[in-house]
Amino acid sequence: MSTFFDRILGREKRSARQAKDRLKLVLIHDRIDMNPGTLETLKDELIEVISRHVDIDPGAVHIKMTQDGRQQRLIADIPINPSGRRRSRKNV
């Protein structure tokens, strides 16, 4: 139970908001029949394959599932390190 102060200070979301956020996640995984663990594995494998060809920072990779109507979309944001960075690191 949230107090009035919790609410005005934004410390706790209303229960409808929580329900919607939780549902959103559950539906994404239900629809593609993939659990959160498999998505992590997919992310690791994707990073490994791309790293073979270009220099990327694994920590900066964002892979997420989004909803577009009743369609699910896998969005990958993979920033590529500038080619000069490797060389400059070697120089240090």
Question: How far is 19 from 37, CA to CA, in rounded Å?
Answer: 22
Residue 15 binds to other proteins (criterion: CB under 8 A): yes
CB of 41 to other proteins, least distance (A): 23
Residue 69 binds to other proteins (criterion: CB under 8 A): yes
- Give the end-to-end CA distance of the chain in Å, rounded to a whole number: 55
Question: How far is 43 from 65, CA to CA, in rounded Å?
Answer: 12
CB of 84 to other proteins, least distance (A): 45
Residues binding other proteins (CB under 8 A): 14-17, 19-20, 22-24, 26-27, 30-31, 67, 69-70
